[in-house]
Chain A
Amino acid sequence: MADKVRHIELGLTDQQVLDMYWYMVLARTVDERMWLLNRAGKIPFVISCQGQEGAQAGAGFALDPSKDYIAPYYRDLCLVLIYGHTAKSELLSAFGKPEDPNSGGRQMPGHFGDRKRRIITGSSPVGTQIPHAVGAALAAKMRGEDFVAYVSFGEGTSNQGDFHEAANFAGIHKLPVIFFCENNRYAISVPESKQLACKNVADRAAGYGFEGVVVDGMDPLEVYRVMKAAVEKARNGGGPTLVEAKTYRLVPHSSDDDDRSYRTREEVEEAKRGDSIVRLKQYLLDVGLLTEEKDAALRKKALDEVNEATAYAEKAPHADPATLTHYVYAEEAVHHGR
């Protein structure tokens, strides 16, 4: 029965934990639809969140979307849904349509951004977003505001210089930033064992003078607990935390990858048994917040939203070729010959 009140003990209401589950299911449904569309030849590229929804949901619910900045990476579909994006916005992105709020169809899917939602625009070279989050955290400290900055990345990216440079600086100034590593065990084909000499990415935090925490990234409630503490610490002037969520990438790196060349099917099947969606569903069934009927209705709702979003996005107009040269600089400046 102790487990029964776990979310309550963590400060989550029944509705919040159900919402968490909803966003995870919605993210998975959007993601699966993108693969179908790709295999049907309708969209050129997919990069997936599958396997990492729980980690992202736990993190997202610990943040305050009304004031906290996020610098997500390309797998953070579930996180940006929590931050206000929708199946429609992400399918518009998948089809490269100008209504896409991330980039107006200019970037590949998974390259998130939205100024009014404080989602800092991201790119493809990995790790460049880490100093951006630290810069936003610096602004919070300089202005004495109580927002925090959150940045996520994979374990492969934790090898980049930008991670080290940004974490070092954040540590020196005790900036309100959370470094969230979604360790999904593979950097495309290269396993953890060939990426890191230390056991955990979180171990690296010691070198920057702040705390590193390892958490089971397939358990969204546990991620929420760890993240909530990290966010509170950052908000109260306690400085950064490096949270490493141990997850597993359930699908190939992208639609252009074939993971059969570097990992066994048995390994992937085993990981699927620990899928965060499966685990949270079981928890909700156990505590009586969900039934199989309610779950079916919830999944149908997600599918309906995705169907509607797909139809809308597919029909939405393409970018006018005349817009190719727009927004290189501020338009006002261009008009003045600048």
Chain B
Amino acid sequence: MAVKQYIEAIHDALQEEMARDERVFVLGEDVGVRGGVFRVTAGLIEQFGEYRVLDFPLTESAIVGVAIGAAAAGMIPVAEIQFADFILPAVNQIISEAAKFRYRSNNDWNCPIVIRAPYGGGIHGALYHSQSMEALFTHVPGLKIVTPSTPEDAKGLLVSAIRDPDPVLFFEHKKLYRSIRGEVPEGEYSTPIGKAAVRREGDDITVITYGLGVHLALDAASHLEKEGISTHILDLRTLRPLDEQAILEAARKTGKVLIVHEDNKVCGVGAEVSAIIAEHALFDLDAPVRRLAGPEVPAMPFSPTLEKAYMLNTDKVAQEMRALAKF
């Protein structure tokens, strides 16, 4: 196994899938000559040429719409939206078109596209380079929503997304790009969409989270271990479809559940996870479900103190975990 950065794992998945299947191509703003503003696609244009690594004008709706049309004609497009915040002009194409292609044609057409987008804050990106957009799309049947937290999953889930016959939104937490390294298996592999992963076994409390939250929970759990609190951590990995069985198993394991995400709380992914637990595992609980999420403000401010106040961190997560353990 090689140790790779999260961003390298994403790059490798793209490079290997493009080499494996000539129908696969990437399109987006600055993905070609510049190699992406985060450098995810660095080097691909030299290897695959300017059409398979296609620099697009500033037209998010067309990036997705053209990807849909190319897929209709037999290609496998991987569209990059430069920041998840800028996906909004493409929402009509994603929700009205990609999500409904199969259903509205009674299984005649399908829409095998991937839309990658860096999301999340903590990089001084202010309101429009920090947002978490996943809840908006997780509500939509017909889409699959993937939010990997480790380099191994980033690569394996992107491979699965590219090979999936339906549209997949692939959200990459940009704070993980270069801060997280991890072992990535050698050779070709894929990680199934729709399966959560237990990141730590524990007996006292359960944390259910995804993306950056996984790393905060793992850090907090190692602190709490010294205090005698044993934490079970479930990484959702895919937000649609949610792995209900894994959620219920994780909830029943300890009877105490904390859900953590950076996206704001109201109608967030945590609301659905807690509803699933309430519907199916209420009497296995020893404490009310708790949620730690971003505040109910429109987006993350630029001011360093306000950004810090918005962002989750290990201390905030640990504090919630302690409170839950004491209940």
Residues in chain A within 8 A of chain B (CB atoms): 69, 71, 98, 100-107, 111, 113-115, 120-121, 123-125, 128, 130-143, 149, 161-162, 165-166, 168-169, 172, 326-333, 336-338
Smallest Cβ-Cβ distance to A337: which chain B residue: B194
Contact partners of B97 in chain A: CB under 8 A: 123, 128, 132
Q: Is B73 interfacial (CB 8 A cutoff)?
A: yes
How distant is B238 from chain A, measured CB to nearest CB, in Å? 9
Within 147-191 of B, Cβ neighbours of A (below 8 Å) are at 164-166
Contact partners of B105 in chain A: CB under 8 A: 102-104, 106, 113, 115, 121
Contact partners of B100 in chain A: CB under 8 A: 123
Q: Are B70 and A121 in contact (CB-based, < 8 A)? A: no
What's the A-B contact tally at a CB cutoff of 8 Å?
Answer: 162
Contact partners of B61 in chain A: CB under 8 A: 131, 161-162, 165
Smallest Cβ-Cβ distance to A332: which chain B residue: B165
Contact partners of A98 in chain B: CB under 8 A: 106
Stretch of B9-17, B35-43, B49-57, B214-222 on the interface side: B49-57
Encode B51-93 as 1/0 by CB contact (under 8 A) with A: 1100011010110111111111111010000000000010011
Contact partners of B165 in chain A: CB under 8 A: 329-330, 332-333
A–B pairs, 17, beta carbons within 8 Å:
A69-B72, A100-B106, A103-B106, A113-B109, A114-B108, A120-B69, A121-B109, A125-B96, A128-B96, A128-B97, A132-B72, A135-B68, A142-B70, A142-B75, A169-B57, A172-B57, A333-B165
CA–CA, A103 and B109, complex, Å: 10
How distant is B239 from chain A, measured CB to nearest CB, in Å? 13
How distant is A299 from chain B, measured CB to nearest CB, in Å? 32
How distant is A150 from chain B, measured CB to nearest CB, in Å? 12
Q: Is B25 interfacial (CB 8 A cutoff)?
A: yes
Q: Are A142 and B52 in contact (CB-based, < 8 A)? A: yes
Given A115-B109, A131-B66, A330-B165: A139 and B195 within 8 A (CB)? no
Contact partners of B102 in chain A: CB under 8 A: 327-330
Contact partners of B109 in chain A: CB under 8 A: 113, 115, 120-121
Q: Is B121 interfacial (CB 8 A cutoff)?
A: no
Contact partners of A125 in chain B: CB under 8 A: 92, 96
Contact partners of B77 in chain A: CB under 8 A: 135
CA–CA, A278 and B218, complex, Å: 76
Q: Are B69 and A168 in contact (CB-based, < 8 A)? A: no
Given A103-B105, A328-B102, A338-B241: A149 and B57 within 8 A (CB)? no
Contact partners of B25 in chain A: CB under 8 A: 142
Q: Are A121 and B108 in contact (CB-based, < 8 A)? A: yes
Q: Are A168 and B65 in contact (CB-based, < 8 A)? A: no
How distant is A283 from chain B, measured CB to nearest CB, in Å? 36
CA–CA, A131 and B56, complex, Å: 13
Q: Are B106 and A106 in contact (CB-based, < 8 A)? A: yes
Contact partners of A134 in chain B: CB under 8 A: 62, 65-66, 69
CA–CA, A141 and B110, complex, Å: 21
Q: Are B72 and A120 in contact (CB-based, < 8 A)? A: yes
Smallest Cβ-Cβ distance to A336: which chain B residue: B192
CA–CA, A71 and B105, complex, Å: 14
Q: Which of A111, A128, A138, A168 has the most CB of B within 10 A?
A: A138
Smallest Cβ-Cβ distance to B166: which chain A residue: A329
Encode B99-128 as 1/0 by CB contact (under 8 A) with A: 011111111111000000000000000000
CA–CA, A327 and B165, complex, Å: 12
How distant is B126 from chain A, measured CB to nearest CB, in Å? 25
CA–CA, A332 and B166, complex, Å: 11
Q: Are A128 and B93 in contact (CB-based, < 8 A)? A: yes
Given A121-B101, A162-B62, A333-B165: A131 and B73 within 8 A (CB)? no
Q: Are B89 and A135 in contact (CB-based, < 8 A)? A: no
CA–CA, A132 and B65, complex, Å: 5
Encode B11-46 as 1/0 by CB contact (under 8 A) with A: 000000000000001000000000000000000000
Q: Is B193 interfacial (CB 8 A cutoff)?
A: yes
CA–CA, A131 and B109, complex, Å: 16
